[in-house]
Structure 1
Amino acid sequence: MVAGHLEEKNGLYYCVISYYERPGKRIRKWIPTGLRVKGNKKKAEKKLLEVRSKYIIPNAANDLNTEMLFGDYLRKWLEYRKSAIAITTYHAYKTRIERKIAPYFDERKMKLGSLKAAHVQEFYIHLENEKLKPCTIKCYHELMNTALNYAVRSELILANPLRLVYRPAVRKAIEPHSCYNELELEKLFKVSEGTLLEIPILLGAFYGLRRSEIIGLKWSAVDFENNLININHTIVPVYSESSYIYVKENRTKTISSRRTLPLIDPVKGKLIKLKTIQMNNRLVCGNAYEDTEGYICVNEVGKLYTPNWLTTSFGKLLKKHGLRHIRFHDLRHSCASILLRKGVQMKYIQEWLGHSNIATTADIYSHLEVSDMIPLASTIEKAMQVPDNPESSNLLSFV
């Protein structure tokens, strides 16, 4: 039912109907009741209810309404939001809607106005049964929550049903076994030397860079003279229609991810060597050399690495040389874990990794390995003494 209320004008009651024609544009329609204000309040309220229940929002702009399927509402809402969100966010939302949310709710003929907390809870259970991780289900939750909050603000529904839904708990802490220690990283550096993976691995391990930041790194971002490296450009894969496209942006995941870091000597030496190699490759290939934008992570003919190639090739490298399996992203966790063990303050680790706030860093990396706990055990042992009388009986007895 469309929103509306009564207004008085020139001694007469008017029904004022209110709805959104599109995001940010609210429409108000004044409909005369023909009833004078004096003595006709109840009749006017009855008339308002009748008008609201029968009023059909104009279909010229394919307006949202409570009778549309929830899946269709999400599709329309996303198109409304398209100009206000990043293209990567748009494609991520679209993929989630089309792959999981819309098929599930459309099959059940679920309308926007009929959606209840129990329906969403059952959807989450369905996702869990499909073996989706809690962090992935959280993404679906955030999408639907944002869309339904918009429905509340648009006065399509009275309240957001997701406020009553329990979503799976997301465990942020990184387990120690998912990180490489210093010796394991040294072995990794050795087996990757001279390969296309050498620079990405060094950037992941020394700087904790994300895949999108590594592949998006350009030579123009490296200041060899002042020994600085600027993280300010990313390449992100997004699923569009039936294939992946790669979005190049002069932006990072968060504002804090846009950072300038010191250029570490071992990394600097490897980058200088790679730049010389790429200059020679460019001369040999001539016009056939693909890269024209100055990216660092390209192959012999200038073809840019893709995030999926990086992930797959990294796994193959570990398997080939018998190294313990970790994800490429775990190099970032390894970097943070080593800094933490070396006594670096959490605030500095946050800035090094480019987290938006220190709470994120603390939630993920505040774990301790068993070896880290040995000094704690020694400290507590020395702080309290347990009596050890050799003459006491070996048998326990009630006091």
Structure 2
Amino acid sequence: MKGTVQKKKMRSGKEYFTICLTYQDPYTNKRKQKVVSTGLEIKGNKRKAQNMIPSLIEKYEYLERYLPTTLDHDISLCDYLDEWLKSKCISIRTSTYESYSYRVNSMKKYFKKENPRLVDVTPKMLKTFFEYSLSYGKINQKTHKREPLSVRSVRSYRSILFAMFNEAIVDGLITYNPIISVSVHGKKNKDYAEEYLFLTEDEISSFLQFLKIHYPRLLGIAFMGIYYGLRRSEILGLKWSAIDWENETLTIEHTVVRVKTVSIKDDTKTTAGSRTLNLFSSAKQCLRTIKEEQQSNAAFFGNCYQNKEGYIFTWEDGHLYNPNYISRKFKQAASDFGRPEITLHKLRHTCCSLLINKGWPIKQLQYWLGHDDVQTTLNIYAHYNRKLLNQSTNDLEDISAGTLQLFK
């Protein structure tokens, strides 16, 4: 394996070093490349980037190892789940792998008692598992009692099992995928009617004022969620280098995510997630206030200040927030405000509803929210503002005025 230092220019105009690792795939004997971000800007950092090569070669040397598999046709479901997960560590992102790992371990807890052979798994077994998960799939951390798992989470189980059984067919262990005929059905939570899934225009100012007083570190984060519709990873991944004060733009191209570990990426969740948005007056004021606070903190902490990468949302000493901490803190804040059903991600819904109310075209809305597919924008968000259908009564009053005489 060899490593070379290369340059990458971002949309913001900034240039960073990346390291390109070239290796031979043990399965195909073809040469492949893996590009790793260093997070180092071009000026004055070439030697630092070069010094990173040996450690990265050591970290990714497993890419050149052939991992022979001698799978027994009598392998159990739980053991094959482990083998399937192991095979994915090379081809998927760390955060995705950790998410898969968490779900695989949860499924194994259910199946480990009987632990049927892979070839003996039936659609009925899988249906029973999904029904159990929808009723008792998680444990309440406070009461330690079993509670229903969300339909979305159970469907993620089905997706993993579907891929795993397909892999087993390729490995010659089974002849058909038993999950094909099994669906996951579930009702939406009726406690939260759709009109409560986002903040109204009247509530936004009160909510932000509440945060300023009681949860000040969430104020800027909530602002970016409400008015820019940014995902958590996009908010926490914002850097000062993404702000173009002269042209009044904000560029989304870097994310910070966490499943088990914090992962920093020079890309976004989707291709369309990389986008440049207008920087309006209140946003500029919000960011300037945060910058002034950061400068004050940097002066106070001196050499102990840690924000060399220039992130916008950090602790006072400059180190990054844990994404899960921000979500938990926001949930607490929303509950204290009296809207416990509002999560940080639902601020994207709030943004969408605001812009629909202002008459934004759907394609413009798709770009602003960073959706790859316009259908996602239509399907997931448009129904949150069905009240608009009933707000044109005065128009109908005028249009139908000429027909009044027909009913006298």
Tell me if 1:313 matches 2:319. no
Note if contact 1:204-1:214 (Cα within 8 Å) is conserved in structure 2: yes
Structure 1 match to 2:240? 219
Residues 191-200 or 291-300, more deviating: 191-200
Partner of 1:164: helix, strand, or coil?
coil
Q: Which amino acid aligns with 1:200?
A: I
Tell me if 1:344 matches 2:353. no
Structure 2 match to 1:75? 82
CA distance in 1, matches of 2:396, 2:126: 48
Note if contact 1:208-1:336 (Cα within 8 Å) is conserved in structure 2: yes
* Alignment deviations for residues 142-195 of structure 1 (CA, whole Å, 9 cap, x no partner): 111111111222332111111111222586999221110111111122233482
Residues 169-318 of structure 1 aligned to structure 2 (within 5 Å): 175-193=194-212, 195-239=216-260, 245-318=261-334
- The offset of 1:229, in angstroms, is 1.1
Note if contact 1:71-1:103 (Cα within 8 Å) is conserved in structure 2: no
Alignment TM-score, normalising by the size of structure 2? 0.73
Residues 57-96 of structure 1 aligned to structure 2 (within 5 Å): 61-96=68-103
Note if contact 1:238-1:246 (Cα within 8 Å) is conserved in structure 2: yes
Structure 1 match to 2:14? none
What is the alpha-carbon root mean square deviation over aligned residues? 2.9
* Alignment deviations for residues 220-267 of structure 1 (CA, whole Å, 9 cap, x no partner): 11111221111111111112xxxxx21111122111112221112211
CA distance in 2, matches of 1:96, 1:368: 30
CA distance in 2, matches of 1:115, 1:76: 17
CA distance in 2, matches of 1:371, 1:141: 34
Partner of 1:235: helix, strand, or coil?
strand
* Alignment deviations for residues 20-60 of structure 1 (CA, whole Å, 9 cap, x no partner): xx9967xxxxxxxxxxxxxxxxxxxxxxxxxxxxxxxxxx9
Partner of 1:161: helix, strand, or coil?
coil
CA distance in 2, matches of 1:66, 1:380: 69
- The offset of 1:283, in angstroms, is 1.7
- The offset of 1:64, in angstroms, is 2.8
CA distance in 2, matches of 1:329, 1:174: 17
Structure 1 match to 2:179? 162
Partner of 1:197: helix, strand, or coil?
helix
Q: Which amino acid aligns with 1:202?
A: F
- The offset of 1:318, in angstroms, is 3.9
Partner of 1:361: helix, strand, or coil?
helix
Unaligned runs of 5+ in 2: 1-24, 29-66, 137-147
CA distance in 1, matches of 2:262, 2:122: 37
Taking a change above 3 Å as real, the CA distance of residues 169 and 362 of structure 1, as seen in their structure-2 partners, is farther
Note if contact 2:353-2:385 (Cα within 8 Å) is conserved in structure 1: no
Structure 1 match to 2:3? none
CA distance in 2, matches of 1:23, 1:128: 42
Taking a change above 3 Å as real, the CA distance of residues 371 and 125 of structure 1, as seen in their structure-2 partners, is closer
| Runs ≥4 residues deviating over 4 A | 22-25, 169-174, 368-371, 376-390
CA distance in 1, matches of 2:299, 2:395: 63
Note if contact 2:306-2:319 (Cα within 8 Å) is conserved in structure 1: yes
- The offset of 1:324, in angstroms, is 3.0
Structure 2 match to 1:357? 373
- The offset of 1:371, in angstroms, is 4.3
- The offset of 1:290, in angstroms, is 2.6
CA distance in 1, matches of 2:277, 2:338: 29
CA distance in 2, matches of 1:324, 1:227: 33
CA distance in 2, matches of 1:266, 1:179: 21
Residues 327-342 of structure 1 aligned to structure 2 (within 5 Å): 327-342=343-358
Partner of 2:267: helix, strand, or coil?
coil
Q: 1:137 aligns with which of 130, 148, 154?
A: 154
CA distance in 1, matches of 2:281, 2:104: 46
Note if contact 2:76-2:116 (Cα within 8 Å) is conserved in structure 1: yes
Taking a change above 3 Å as real, the CA distance of residues 371 and 147 of structure 1, as seen in their structure-2 partners, is closer
CA distance in 2, matches of 1:135, 1:318: 22
Note if contact 1:179-1:333 (Cα within 8 Å) is conserved in structure 2: yes
CA distance in 1, matches of 2:85, 2:131: 24
Note if contact 1:69-1:106 (Cα within 8 Å) is conserved in structure 2: no
CA distance in 2, matches of 1:82, 1:174: 40
Structure 2 match to 1:153? 170
Unaligned runs of 5+ in 1: 1-21, 26-59, 240-244, 391-399
CA distance in 1, matches of 2:74, 2:186: 33
Alignment TM-score, normalising by the size of structure 1? 0.75
CA distance in 1, matches of 2:85, 2:98: 10
Partner of 1:83: helix, strand, or coil?
coil
Number of matched pairs: 329
Residues 24-63 of structure 1 aligned to structure 2 (within 5 Å): 61-63=68-70
- The offset of 1:380, in angstroms, is 6.8
Taking a change above 3 Å as real, the CA distance of residues 383 and 64 of structure 1, as seen in their structure-2 partners, is farther
In our comparison, the structure showing a higher alpha carbon Rg is 1
Residues 137-146 or 190-199, more deviating: 190-199
Taking a change above 3 Å as real, the CA distance of residues 363 and 171 of structure 1, as seen in their structure-2 partners, is farther
Taking a change above 3 Å as real, the CA distance of residues 318 and 368 of structure 1, as seen in their structure-2 partners, is closer
